[in-house]
């Protein structure tokens, strides 16, 4: 069997062994099979019929030419890379097919993908920039430094739970025409697409309050009275901002949601503002009684914004990932425009809210202390909605699966340089 393989390699190479030009593929094969190179003259006589093989060819010692030595590692590596990419593509398409078809196996495969994406976080010690923490986050800011491994596991669990919750309210509020687990899948993928996101950070904790706030606001659609839900929405946004201050920008997002989802009821607008004020009244009162009012209003809110690092540097390793995400967003925009007439009124209003969520997710990066990728964690939610809609309605499934494979490869290109140069 091995001689037949060797014979085909030599025949395809079309190398004349009689002229003393030893085929590098032969040398590679023999090296892999641990055959002595002094036995080369015997083997070609067994490869019949090979017209290029002479009855006798020169004997080569183990010190074969440098060109052969170079070829020894090139061909096996090329074959290995091809097999690895093929296997990677086949496994990647399984995730997208299971999530798209709303199969129960998604409850196993989607968390598995999250664990695989977070493996680099456990091999690399990533230290973020020091920031001024808001009052509620100060209660737990010791956790990542004192227990780094436990904090990473907790962060991974938070991403998984938020992905499931996000998928639930997209189904509950009919943001898609079909049921699937694609929102949860892409939430995990985009929430794990950079080393800066693979850690316990305030934006992730603030999303614990922001997700139910979005759910409550979408739930007010076609309700006669929604005073309590509007109040709790404002309360949750304020609590999120006391963990990560840029989350306060989403108060404007919920005002936009009131315009989209509700008729104008001035009481709801006042109640939303009251919900926003209540936590700040309590926090301001506490710091006033502790004689630390300047530390709260100036030290935690004003000064970090004034002295923020307003520079965003995009490394070369992010170019592929950024290009793929931009292409997906352009495709999503075209898909929404093409399918706007077929969607229900509730779906169109929900998508309009997600568009405003994407806008204010980017705006939330402006008051952030730096432009680190963790500041754009909120953009994961609308991005997951837009991309899920493409894959859910794609007619050419092979093209959607190809984009998913390219997306994962783009994430891999981000991880590899970081693990190589930041050890």
Closest CA to 65 of 12, 20, 99, 101: 20
Residue 334, by phi and psi: left (phi above 0), alpha (psi -120 to 50) or beta?
alpha
Q: Is the dihedral of CA 205, 207, 208, 213 positive or negative?
A: positive
| Alpha-carbon gap, residue 288 to 294, rounded angstroms | 9
Instruction: Look at residue 354 and tell me if it is in a domain.
Output: yes
Instruction: Look at residue 83 and tell me if it is in a domain.
Output: no
Matching residue, tokens 């030419």: 65
List the structure tokens of 49: 């019929």
Give yes or no: residues 128 and 178 share one domain: yes
Instruction: Look at residue 88 and tell me if it is in a domain.
Output: no
Give yes or no: residues 216 and 311 share one domain: yes
**Cβ atoms < 10 Å from Cβ of 261:** 21
Instruction: Look at residue 90 and tell me if it is in a domain.
Output: no
pLDDT by residue, tens only, the chain of 423 residues: 444 444 444 444 444 444 444 444 444 444 444 444 444 444 343 333 444 444 444 444 444 444 454 444 555 665 666 566 666 667 777 888 888 888 888 888 889 999 998 988 887 766 555 567 788 888 888 888 888 889 899 999 999 999 999 999 888 888 887 888 999 999 999 998 888 888 888 889 999 999 999 999 998 988 888 899 999 999 999 999 999 888 999 999 999 999 999 888 889 999 999 999 999 999 888 888 888 877 777 777 777 776 666 555 667 777 888 888 888 888 888 777 666 556 677 788 888 899 999 999 888 877 776 656 666 788 899 999 999 888 887 777 788 888 888 888 888 888 776 544 343
Instruction: Look at residue 179 and tell me if it is in a domain.
Output: yes
Instruction: Look at residue 76 and tell me if it is in a domain.
Output: no
From the CA atom positions of the chain, what is the Rg in Å? Answer: 29
Number of H helices, E strands in the chain: 18, 0
The contacts of residue 268 (CB under 8 Å, 6+ apart) are 226, 227, 230, 258, 262
- Residue 122, judged by CB atoms within 10 A of its CB (0-12, 13-18, 19+), counts as middle
Give yes or no: residues 15 and 146 share one domain: no
Cis peptide before 49 (omega within 30 of 0): yes
Matching residue, tokens 């794990």: 192
Give yes or no: residues 102 and 24 share one domain: no
Give yes or no: residues 205 and 291 share one domain: yes
Instruction: Look at residue 28 and tell me if it is in a domain.
Output: yes
| Alpha-carbon gap, residue 88 to 368, rounded angstroms | 37
| Alpha-carbon gap, residue 214 to 360, rounded angstroms | 13
Closest CA to 189 of 419, 388, 418, 397: 388
Instruction: Look at residue 77 and tell me if it is in a domain.
Output: no
Give 180's Cβ-side CA count (13 Å radius): 24
Give yes or no: residues 216 and 320 share one domain: yes
* Domain end call among 64, 82, 110: 64
Statement: the pTM of the whole predicted model exceeds 0.85: no
What range does the domain containing 362 cover? 95-421
Domain count, the chain: 2
Give yes or no: residues 21 and 170 share one domain: no
Give yes or no: residues 194 and 241 share one domain: yes
């Amino acid at each position: 069997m091995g001689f037949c393989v060797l014979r085909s390699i030599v025949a395809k190479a079309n190398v004349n062994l009689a002229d003393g030009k030893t085929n590098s593929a032969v040398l590679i094969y023999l090296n892999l099979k641990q055959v002595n190179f002094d036995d080369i003259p015997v083997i070609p006589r067994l490869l019949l019929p090979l017209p290029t093989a002479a009855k006798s060819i020169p004997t080569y010692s183990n010190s074969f030419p440098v060109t052969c030595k170079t070829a020894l590692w090139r061909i096996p590596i090329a074959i290995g890379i091809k097999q690895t990419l093929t296997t990677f593509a086949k496994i990647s398409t399984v995730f997208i097919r299971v999530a798209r078809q709303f199969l129960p196996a998604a409850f196993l495969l989607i968390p598995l993908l999250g664990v695989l994406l977070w493996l680099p976080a456990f091999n690399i010690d990533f230290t973020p920039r020091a920031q001024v923490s808001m009052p509620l986050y100060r209660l737990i800011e010791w956790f990542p430094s004192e227990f780094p491994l436990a904090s990473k596991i907790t962060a991974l669990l938070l991403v998984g739970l938020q992905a499931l919750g996000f998928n639930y309210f997209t189904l509950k509020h009919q943001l898609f025409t079909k049921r699937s687990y694609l929102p949860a899948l892409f939430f995990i993928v985009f929430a794990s697409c950079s080393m800066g996101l693979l850690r316990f950070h305030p934006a992730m904790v603030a999303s614990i309050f922001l997700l139910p706030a979005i759910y409550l606001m979408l739930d007010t659609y076609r309700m006669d009275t929604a005073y309590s839900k509007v109040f709790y929405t404002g309360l949750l946004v304020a609590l999120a901002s006391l963990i990560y201050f840029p989350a306060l920008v989403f108060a404007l997002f919920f005002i936009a949601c009131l315009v989209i989802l509700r008729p104008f009821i001035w009481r709801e607008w006042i109640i939303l503002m009251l919900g926003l004020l209540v936590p700040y009244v309590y926090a301001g009162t506490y710091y006033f009684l502790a004689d630390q009012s300047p530390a709260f209003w100036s030290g935690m809110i004003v000064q970090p914004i004034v002295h923020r690092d307003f520079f965003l540097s995009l490394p070369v390793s992010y170019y592929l990932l950024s290009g793929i995400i931009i292409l997906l967003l352009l495709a999503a925009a075209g898909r929404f425009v093409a399918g706007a007439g077929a969607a229900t009124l509730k779906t169109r209003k929900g998508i309009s809210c997600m568009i405003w969520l994407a806008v204010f997710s980017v705006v939330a990066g402006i008051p952030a202390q730096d432009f680190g990728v963790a500041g754009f964690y909120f953009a994961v939610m609308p991005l997951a909605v837009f991309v899920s809609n493409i894959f859910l309605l794609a007619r050419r499934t092979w093209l959607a699966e190809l984009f998913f494979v390219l997306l994962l490869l783009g994430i891999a290109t981000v991880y590899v340089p970081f693990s190589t140069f930041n050890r």
